[in-house]
Amino acid sequence: MLECLIQTFKFPGQFGTHIDFPGHFIKGRELSEKYDVHDLIFPLCVIDVTEKVKENPGYAATVEDIKKYEQTYGDIPDGALVALRTDWYKNWPDMDALSGTGEDGSENFPGWSMEALKYIYEVRNAAANGHETLDTDSSAVAEKAGDLICERYVLNQGKLQVELLKNLDQVSPAGAVIIVAYPRIEGATGLPARVWAITE
């Protein structure tokens, strides 16, 4: 008689490297089944703010950071995934380090500013953004707003984002292609993702 092992897995949608769909924050918006393979292959742009994060762990990437990138590598292409390199992934799997938790319980971690996200989406028509941190917003932006306003903005635009990326320090800043794959599950607001960059 044939013998084999069959397993059942249970996992959170938003933990480790994962993709967020608009319905994660915006009720009634797109969920996992909306997207096909051709929606998940992007030109990759990597914005490096590691030096600024060393000086200020709560740094929020600015439009100036993106324009400086474009001066060197050209305009962000239509439909790109724009990833924010902070080297924050090196804190994984220490949750306190990822959150930048201080002795007083406060959090301090880098992320995007609203202005930077509006630039990549409304000026450059990016398709997605990515980052190495737990959240889209920097800790300072989230604390000031009392909400994850940057993440809410991205998802309300009907865009995708990939959180807890790693190894952006091993990828070319421009010219690479990034592929995001996730389990074929319907109705998910987010799912664990395997992410590959094809680079020089």
Element (H, E) at 161: strand 160-163
How do residues 147-178 score in pLDDT, each as one tens digit?
999 999 999 999 999 999 999 999 999 999 99
Cβ neighbours around 27 below 10 Å, total: 6
User: Which CATH number goes with the domain that contains 103?
Assistant: 3.50.30.50
Cα separation, 141 vs 62, in Å, equals 12
> Quick check: is 13 in a domain?
no
Start-end of H helices in the chain: 50-55, 63-73, 95-99, 114-118, 139-145, 149-156
How do residues 77-127 score in pLDDT, each as one tens digit?
999 999 999 999 999 999 999 999 988 888 999 999 999 999 999 999 999
Per-residue confidence (pLDDT) for residue 105, from 0 to 100 = 86
Mean pLDDT across the stretch 51-62? 98
Total number of domains in the chain: 1
For residue 2, what pLDDT band results from cuts at 50, 70 and 90?
confident
Cα separation, 70 vs 175, in Å, equals 13
Residue 71's domain spans which residues? 18-198
> Quick check: is 67 in a domain?
yes
> Quick check: is 154 in a domain?
yes
